[in-house]
Amino acid sequence: MLKYEELYEILRQEKLNDPLQKIPLDFIKRFSEFIHENKKIITRNGDFFAEELVRDKKQYENSMVLFKELMLRRKKKLLNLVFMANETSVIKKDFENMFPFEKDLFDGLLSSMEQNDKLISMLLLKEASNRDEVSLIITDDVESFVGMDGESIGPFEKGQYVLLEKQIADVLINGKKAVVA
């Protein structure tokens, strides 16, 4: 069974360190047993031991607060991991430190973000096709250059999404500097 001090230490480690911390897989079960046992002690003691009852109630309440804060901190870290994985394509960093339900949440959120990005790209493509513009993914760094209208265009970095006039897009595509998104 979990002890209050262990719960406090787990939260302290989660607060002090940026990555998700390794927590035993049976932690939730042990916490549940701990809370159930504390609740039994509180209801069993009644008014006989007023000081102990107050102490036990306070420990029960504090345990719930610590657990909620621990879960909130882990959710925040999980969201940051989802953002990083979506933007940098670094998949499943700290995956081994996640509970199974956190892994499911991570996968679901990442999938939703990827679908959202595809939807945005499709909307941009649709809008671009209406204006003789093309949405591109830059495949090689491109220095700034002067466009057909005399305006400076760029620079662009590899992996960047850009929306350019069809004539300019064709030059970049033919020069193997970009592909249609």
Residue in the structure block whose two tokens are 């969201």: 79
Cα-Cα end-to-end distance for the chain: 54
**Which two tokens mark 157?**
């970095």
What's residue 159's pLDDT? 87
Strands 152-153 and 145-146: antiparallel
Contact by Cβ (8 Å): 164, 136: yes
What's residue 129's pLDDT? 61
What's residue 94's pLDDT? 72
Choose among 181, 145, 139, 176: nearest CA to 163.
181
CATH number of the domain at 4-114, out of 3.40.50.620, 3.10.129.10, 1.10.287.1770, 1.20.58.1030? 1.20.58.1030
Q: What is the pTM of this model?
A: 0.65
CATH number of the domain at 131-180, out of 3.40.50.2000, 3.30.930.10, 3.90.1310.10, 3.40.5.50? 3.40.5.50
Contact by Cβ (8 Å): 132, 166: yes
Phi and psi of 164, rounded to 5°? -130, 160
pLDDT in tens, the chain (181 residues): 899 999 999 999 999 999 999 999 999 999 999 999 988 888 876 666 678 888 888 999 999 999 999 999 999 999 999 888 888 866 666 788 999 999 999 999 998 998 888 888 877 776 656 667 888 999 999 999 988 888 899 899 888 888 888 889 999 999 999 998 7
Q: Which sequence spans correspond to the domains of the chain?
A: 4-114, 131-180
What's residue 76's pLDDT? 96
Choose among 23, 20, 19: nearest CA to 10.
23
What's residue 42's pLDDT? 81
- Tell me the per-residue pLDDT of 50-90, one tens digit each, with 9 for 90 and over: 788 888 889 999 999 999 999 999 999 999 998 888 888 66
